[in-house]
Amino acid sequence: MRADARKNRDHLLAVAGSAITEQGVDVSLRDIARRADVGLATLLRHFPTREALLDALLRTSFDELTAKAVELESSGSPEDALLSWLRDCVGWTTEYRGVTVLMAAAIEDTQSALHASCVTLRAAGARLLTRAQAAGVARADIDGADLFALIAMLAWLGDQSALAPRADRLFGVVASALLTNPGERDPQTPG
């Protein structure tokens, strides 16, 4: 990549970061280009879609969340590990208002630039869930895709200003449901 192109790209990412923090992920791409003092076509040349821009912007965070999950897989109790990772995921999305809807769309759209990151994240969560289920501390009737949906629900709550004040409490409600094994209190007897 040519030096001027690299510079444009980096500057666009920095400006996009601020703009999204202020206005959410639906911020006008034209506005980002204006603030970065480049043409809109230049932004689109570097990031052909809004998702591509977001993927570049969130890649570090995505990787950190995945790494955190791997780390938690072998530390702490299975219950605490799952719970703490859930909290991290939901808390993270609050920095990027509106990102949950895009992630929910991306996980089934193999063409989306965010697809791979979302699938990786879901898999990381699924491993923590499986471990907790094996230890008998999480309900056995849900899987990684359910967990992803639960995280999305709670993250979306935080995006809605009228509902956000309830997000913490409802995180607790949902977590308590997740960590209960209804009708099967003894983890040692499978059948």
Partner DNA sequence: ACCTGAACACCGTTCAAGT
| Partner from its own copies, DNA, none contacting 178, C-beta within 5 to 8 A by type | its own copies
Give the separation between CA 158 and CA 108, rounded to whole angstroms. Answer: 23
The CB-of-129 to DNA minimum distance in angstroms stands at: 35
C-alpha distance from residue 162 to each of 21, 125, 153 (Å): 19, 28, 15
Residue in 13, 40, 174, 175 binding DNA, rule: CB under 7 A? 40
Instruction: Yes or no: say if 120 and 62 are a contact pair by the CB < 8 Å rule.
Output: yes
How many other C-beta atoms are found inside a 10 Å radius of the C-beta of residue 103?
28
Give the separation between CA 63 and CA 117, rounded to whole angstroms. Answer: 8
What is the token pair recorded at 78? 């299975």
Q: Which residues have CB under 8 Å from 120's CB, separation 6+?
A: 62, 66
- Interface with its own copies by CB under 8 A: which range of 20-28, 34-42, 68-76, 155-163? 155-163
| Partner from its own copies, DNA, none contacting 119, C-beta within 5 to 8 A by type | none
- Interface with DNA by CB under 7 A: which range of 41-49, 77-85, 86-94, 98-106? 41-49
Binding site for its own copies (CB under 8 A): 101, 104-105, 107-108, 139, 141-142, 145-146, 148-150, 152-154, 156-157, 160-163, 166, 169-170, 173-174, 176-178, 180, 182
Q: Which residues bind DNA (CB under 7 A)?
A: 1-2, 4-5, 8, 28-31, 38-42, 44-46, 49-50
